[in-house]
Structure 1
């Protein structure tokens, strides 16, 4: 059975650290604590005096003054790891934690998981080829020497950096290393940790190199593990669930995130809000429980992206000049069927094809496998279709040798609809208004990744009103846009009422429109 030695880097809240250490050791695991030397000495003494007689607790020596982006964070980690290796010979795994981390699984589950996966868990992506670094300097982290802290001494940091660039003082990366980058939160096997410690003693050149790189906690362990461990024994992921906002800041979890956190395929979560006392209490009790069944749904990141994106819908860039100046043609009619339930729109289109001779194409901007003719490659991906939407539509008009064309779009594609409506051609819009049952919304949540097979009923119950409101919001935006040739049919309207709108949209006789409106099971799910 796996025995875990937790490597805890912390700098505040001694009471929480004591509680976390007791929680871990009471469950039979170990903990090695590095408490930042910059923090008050009284706080460290409180931790040491309270936990000093616990045989499953050890402390890193010496303590280091840590600064963000500095080598000091790596050195503090190495000191804590070395202390754990010496103090806990029975430890099979070493798991990196911060004071903001909390367990989201039981100790029993964690040990069984590690027994079943004989691997090292660490994010390690190629430093130069991956896009892990989103902003700021990249190669310059490595090829120049950084001895100052960018946050504490910003002016001096960049003065030193620019001087090295001006003088051409680049340095070589150790030739036998392929630099990797990833999250600092890892879980490594004992053999791997011992290899790393041996490597640090044998390769002083590598240690000198990393001591003056910038933000080495994202590259040091990640590079050494790839260098020392066979690739098939590495799982390129962290076991700590964490998310970042659009601004690169860690997402904080609160009391109402309990069920969502337990459903993620991770062992710990970061970062838990200091004010989330109920969440911390529940997660603290969870770690020592037994025979707990976890329903892994893993929808956390997609759920966060969905919820934080609401109300921020807009166009990031203005339209390109070749799109604004181009036109589908003044004499042409583009008819857009807008419907959230794609199967309803497809069912309607199938009957329109039988009733009229107008070519009709399903969700070409939403489904990559929508049948389309070969148009020279512009139709191959959704990205290309959207980017060159007017050119694509002109080519479809030409291919079908028609001046009238029907396409389906999702209500979320308002920017596309507005673009076509602003063209010199005639754009007609038919909104198909549907009712959304709870079962349909649950299925929708599963289809778009907001929920999984194991998502708890309580999470779904809280999520459904948000999804329903989001769909209503999309519909309201369509109606508020004030399109000139706009019609709407509804699931709650009579066939006669819907026929009037279908006749106006398609410019067909009332009898044909009534036949379409009476399509059997048109709105059925």
Structure 2
């Protein structure tokens, strides 16, 4: 009978990881876990201790810091596979999972399916001939070298790409492989996995090539399986059920999706909401039920497309998701930098980006040209961003695949602060209070149209106290709101105190935040 070694890549929610490992191994299967090296050490320690006595669980020997689109995701997978192959000699299949996945069939059903069909399950479509990539870069992912992360270092990413194009630094794809593309969620037989590991040791040229491609988790295994395994032994599909919205964001499943999920022709589904506790409980009980019977209708994707399509033309059954009250997510953390001097906040964010991996976005509710990903048009104007603020934030969390996000907001946007602080997510505020010279206030008055080049000096003198009072009033309103987790940095405060405040805000050691606050010209105009 089939024995599955689950390859679990995860970076958060240790309780869910522990529960997932205990449930899947209770049926006699195995699990190899790679927990992101950039995640909290306490979480990893909690998982190791809870599963220490489980002989069917092992861990990747070496943990790596993972980033979306990077080779690090493939390396993390290879590390977990290598551990599983060595620790579980009886494993017949290796199944790729994330912490957001859940079984939607029983263990018996899964084992019977794998026993019945001696094939590898992996999406693998011709990279250049298929239309698997809908938008964005295609050939550029491969023929140019990518050393920077597009989400963390957008400017460096595109500058490097532009320079390579200008200099004609095009590289060849290894001549004897045909690049394939597909979903990263696969299930491979033991022989195939062993062939892949052997290939990685023999073909250093291919490994070197993939290490500097962009989003290699969609091409590496897909290409190698096609290269090593006869076509007749490959089922070009994934056994994990997932759907995407019109915005290119994975659909999240909740408690009321239980019956829908069971009727799909898949073994697992992602993404399951962290708050769907009842759904997880029912699916957990189902996995151990050997008597469970399943009626496969497989209408999930077509039904979702139909219903969402009716919404686009005004013939929907319910309100669009941004028209109803919603939450960013209980497990998420929104960190807001509040500062009247936008250039000061931007300098601070730039230094934070260099020290942390937390996505940081500048004044998205105040500046129309703030760099934002394409989210289907909801990000197009300041009016839309403000009206659909929570929907926009949820989509940004999903786009960056993170539970922590930093944004800048002007202190005049008290309504936004009140809305986000009223959410079930954790919201932290860092107010950066600056000193305002007369010269700065005059420049501010001109920028916002209160004064011009020809405004008499005596008029400006009468105007300055009012402008200064306005800025003080905004700060007082924020303070009077008595928000939780409200920290205040001041320009005149000693750097040591500001470093401590920033460390509390970012959950970082003070040693790292000292470099941030002590940077030269942080508060300069």
* Residue aligning to 2:252: 252
Q: Structure 1 CA distance, aligned partners of 2:52 and 2:275? A: 28
Q: Structure 2 CA distance, aligned partners of 1:93 and 1:144? A: 34
Residues 268-308 of structure 1: per-residue CA shift (max 9 Å, x gap): 00000111111111111111111111000000000101111
* Residue aligning to 1:220: 220
Matches within 5 A, 1:124-273: 124-273=124-273
1:276 aligns with 2:276: yes
Shift of 1:73: 0.1
* Residue aligning to 2:28: 28
Q: Structure 1 CA distance, aligned partners of 2:36 and 2:151? A: 17
Q: TM-score, normalised by structure 2?
A: 0.59
Q: Structure 1 CA distance, aligned partners of 2:303 and 2:70? A: 34
Q: Structure 1 CA distance, aligned partners of 2:266 and 2:50? A: 30
Shift of 1:114: 0.2
Regions of 4+ moved over 2 Å: none
Matches within 5 A, 1:294-373: 294-313=294-313
Q: Structure 1 CA distance, aligned partners of 2:266 and 2:223? A: 23
Q: TM-score, normalised by structure 1?
A: 0.59
* Residue aligning to 2:289: 289
* Residue aligning to 2:6: 6
* Residue aligning to 1:421: none
Give the root-mean-square deviation of aligned CA atoms: 0.7
Matches within 5 A, 1:99-138: 99-138=99-138
- Secondary structure at the counterpart of residue 310 of structure 1: helix
Q: Structure 1 CA distance, aligned partners of 2:308 and 2:68? A: 28
Q: Structure 1 CA distance, aligned partners of 2:305 and 2:54? A: 43
* Residue aligning to 1:57: 57
Residues 348-386 of structure 1: per-residue CA shift (max 9 Å, x gap): xxxxxxxxxxxxxxxxxxxxxxxxxxxxxxxxxxxxxxx
Q: Structure 2 CA distance, aligned partners of 1:25 and 1:251? A: 27
Q: Structure 2 CA distance, aligned partners of 1:238 and 1:25? A: 21
- Secondary structure at the counterpart of residue 266 of structure 1: coil
Residues 424-480 of structure 1: per-residue CA shift (max 9 Å, x gap): xxxxxxxxxxxxxxxxxxxxxxxxxxxxxxxxxxxxxxxxxxxxxxxxxxxxxxxxx
Moved more, 283-292 or 37-46: 283-292
Shift of 1:200: 0.1
Which runs of 5 or more structure 2 residues have no equivalent in the other structure?
Answer: 315-525
Q: Structure 1 CA distance, aligned partners of 2:313 and 2:174? A: 46
Q: Structure 2 CA distance, aligned partners of 1:266 and 1:187? A: 12
Which runs of 5 or more structure 1 residues have no equivalent in the other structure?
Answer: 315-525
Q: Structure 2 CA distance, aligned partners of 1:311 and 1:90? A: 50
* Residue aligning to 2:40: 40
- Secondary structure at the counterpart of residue 312 of structure 2: coil
Matches within 5 A, 1:379-418: none
- Secondary structure at the counterpart of residue 58 of structure 2: strand
Shift of 1:313: 2.0
- Secondary structure at the counterpart of residue 175 of structure 1: coil
* Residue aligning to 1:71: 71
Q: Structure 1 CA distance, aligned partners of 2:66 and 2:55? A: 27
- Secondary structure at the counterpart of residue 89 of structure 1: coil
